Amino acid sequence: MALLIKGGEIVTAETRYHSDILVENEVISTIGSDLTAPPNAEIVDAAGKQIFPGFIDPHVHIHLPFMATFAKDTHATASKAALIGGTTTFIEMCCPSRNDDALEGYHLWKQKAERNSACDYAFHMAVTRYDAKTESQLREIVRDGTASFKIFLAYKNFFGVDDEEMFRTLTLAAELGIITTAHCENAELVSQLQQLLIAERRTGPEWHEPSRPEAVEAEGTVRFATFLEQTHAAGYVVHLSCAPALRAAVEAKMRGVNLSIESVLPHFLLDKTYAERAGVEGMKHVMSPPLRDKRNLAALWSALEAGLIDTVGTDHCPFDVEQKLIGAQAFTQIPNGIPGIEERVNLMWTYGVNRGLIDIHRFVDALSTRPARIFGLAPRKGMIAVGSDADLVVFDPGYRGTISARTQHTNNNYNGFEGFAIEGRPSVVTVRGKVQVRDGAFVGQHDRGHMLRREPQYLKNEAVHAR
Name all domains of the chain by residue range, CATH numbers in brackets.
53-379+453-462 (3.20.20.140)
Distance CA 369, CA 384 (A): 10
pLDDT at 118 over 70: yes
* pLDDT one-digit tens code per residue, 145-168: 999 999 999 999 899 999 999 999
Q: Fill in the DSSP letter of residue 460.
A: G
Helix, strand, or coil (residue 35) = coil
Residue 463, pLDDT > 60, answer no
Residues with Cβ within 8 Å of 186's Cβ and at least 6 positions away in sequence, in order, are 153, 154, 216, 219, 220, 223
Segment 413-438, tens digit of pLDDT: 999 999 999 999 999 999 999 999 99
Does residue 68 register a pLDDT over 90? no
Quick one: what percent of the chain has pLDDT higher than 90? 97
> What's the rounded mean pLDDT across residues 314-341?
97
> Rounded CA gap, 70 and 311, in Å?
27
Checking if the pLDDT of 462 tops 90, the result is: no
Which residues 6+ apart lie within 8 Å of 109 measured at CB?
A: 63, 92, 94, 123
Number of H helices, E strands in the chain: 15, 19
**Exposure b/e, 70-79, CB count within 10 A at least 16 = b:** ebbbbbbbbb
- What is the arithmetic mean of pLDDT over 316-343? 97
SS3 266: helix
Radius of gyration of the chain (CA): 21
Reported as a pLDDT band with limits 50, 70 and 90, residue 1 is confident
Q: pLDDT tens, 213-247?
A: 999 999 999 999 999 999 999 999 999 999 999 99
Mean pLDDT of 102-115: 97
Is a pLDDT exceeding 90 seen at residue 464?
Answer: no
